[in-house]
Amino acid sequence: NVDVFENLDKVGSGTYGDVFRATSKDTNAVVALKKIRMTKDQETDGFPITALREIKILKQLKHKNVVDLMEIVTNAPSEANRGKGSIYMVFEFMDHDLTGLMDYQHSAPFSVAQIKCYLRQLLNGLHFCHMNKVLHRDIKGANLLINNRGQLKLADFGLARTFDDQARAYTNRCVTLWYRPPELLLGATLYGPEVDLWSVGCVFGEMLQRKPALPGKDEADQLDLICRLCGMPDERSWPGVSRLPFYDKLVDRRGTYHEQPHHAHARPLVAKLSRTVPDAAALDLLNSLLTLDPQARASCATALDHDYFRIEPLPAQPSELPTYKSSHEFNRKKRQAQHAAAAGQGAHAGRDGGGGGGWRDQGRRGGGAGGGRAR
């Protein structure tokens, strides 16, 4: 029963539930309680499917770089909860998330060794997921939890899905906008682990530049930013791209983008970022992750084998990393609420998962955004 825990404070809030820091009354251990959000429709249909998927997947994934689901607890229906009761997932408590640590105005920059340490742990955890046939589908800083022992763990598997070697249609309405790969923005429903690697590239770019790599206002703007950074895709640079449902919308704007060069060593991203990211090995790895063609994009294994991790300074050991006061994106957003209100809501929609609409919705007749069979 959830009554064995004492609720301390709220540390997160998302589409599928709120997260609280709590302590066990028996052991004094600090845990994170994720309250599963039940809507009226879900009460009619049963337990929320997103929570069922997350529980099933996390029971399967036991790895040092994947958050540990400890148990499931409930509280009984009562007057206080309007007779409905609640269900909680109990996780190990992590002191921070990566977005909370990357508070650009208040924290010191990450060292190169620290970035390498975090990135390697992210890739190790994600590689384990992919080897166990699980797509995360929402890699972003807020879902990368870090404790004061320097350990990074993948969290929030609410959008995760299992996959196999057969071609199956999945929804392309997944992955938070700023971290969403171009194939999903163009309407692809057949995809695999490569979608997570694009998101890793966005997180890596964010750590290197101390600002979001591709902060689109909506889906059309997101695709604009991608093409301005990586070039305009066509059949020579990305075989099959012209068959994606929304490619014609991209062609209509061809004149606003740089053409994607077609010789073997052309790398528009490297040319564009070389001034702000002087580390050639880091740029080469970033370029391999933010590759437009999903089939040419780096895998976790190839990324982990990149020279970037073998060049001085070497990745720090987790235990060597600095400790910080507890910092989560939820608290950061509370501190910045007044600034966000003054600047408008567009920027936050991309990081938090919004940012729909635009040409994609107008063009739905030309190819649906997932269709009835997509999952």
Mean pLDDT calculated for residue range 166-194: 94
Top-level CATH class of 2-92?
alpha beta
**Where does the pLDDT of residue 179 fall: very low under 50, low under 70, confident under 90, or very high at 90 and above?**
very high
- State percent of the chain over pLDDT 90: 59
Mean pLDDT calculated for residue range 163-192: 93
Is 325 annotated in some ligand binding site?
no
pLDDT at 150 over 70: yes
Q: Which of 97, 138, 218, 234 is catalytic?
A: 138
Q: For residue 320, what pLDDT is reported?
A: 96
Fold that domain 96-366 belongs to in CATH = Transferase(Phosphotransferase); domain 1 (1.10.510)
User: Measuring CA to CA, which residue among 183, 169, 370, 144 is closest to residue 290?
Assistant: 183
pLDDT at 258 over 50: yes
Helix 112-131 vs helix 194-209: crossing angle, to nearest 10:
170
In terms of pLDDT, which residue wins out, 126 or 354? Answer: 126
Q: For residue 353, what pLDDT is reported?
A: 53
* Known catalytic residue at 305: no
pLDDT at 94 over 60: yes
Report yes or no: 105 and 155 within 8 Å, Cβ to Cβ.
Answer: no
pLDDT at 265 over 60: no
Least confident segment among 194-198, 246-250, 292-296:
246-250
Q: What are phi and psi of 135, to 5 degrees?
A: -95, 130
Q: Tokens 């004061």 — which residue?
A: 148
Least confident segment among 220-229, 312-321, 354-363:
354-363
**Where does the pLDDT of residue 264 fall: very low under 50, low under 70, confident under 90, or very high at 90 and above?**
very low
State the SS3 of the chain: CHHHEEEEEEEEEECCEEEEEEEECCCCCEEEEEEECCCHHHHHHCCCHHHHHHHHHHHHCCCCCECCEEEEEEECCCCCCCCCCEEEEEEECCCEEHHHHCCCCCCCCCCHHHHHHHHHHHHHHHHHHHHCCEECCCCCHHHEEECCCCCEEECCCCCCEECCCCCCCCCCCCCCHHHCCHHHHCCCCCCCCHHHHHHHHHHHHHHHHCCCCCCCCCHHHHHHHHHHHHCECCCCCCCCHHHCCCHHHHHCCHHHCCECCCCCCCCHHHHHHCCCCCCHHHHHHHHHHCCCCHHHCCCHHHHHCCHHHCCCCCCCCHHHCCCCCCECHHHHHHHCHHHHHHHCCHHHHHHHCCCCCCHHHHCHHHCCCCCCCCC
Q: For residue 351, what pLDDT is reported?
A: 65
**Where does the pLDDT of residue 247 fall: very low under 50, low under 70, confident under 90, or very high at 90 and above?**
very high
Enumerate the domain spans of the chain. 2-92, 96-366
Least confident segment among 44-53, 288-297, 366-375:
366-375
pLDDT at 132 over 50: yes
**Where does the pLDDT of residue 51 fall: very low under 50, low under 70, confident under 90, or very high at 90 and above?**
confident
Asked whether the bond before 322 is cis by omega within 30 degrees of 0, the reply is: no
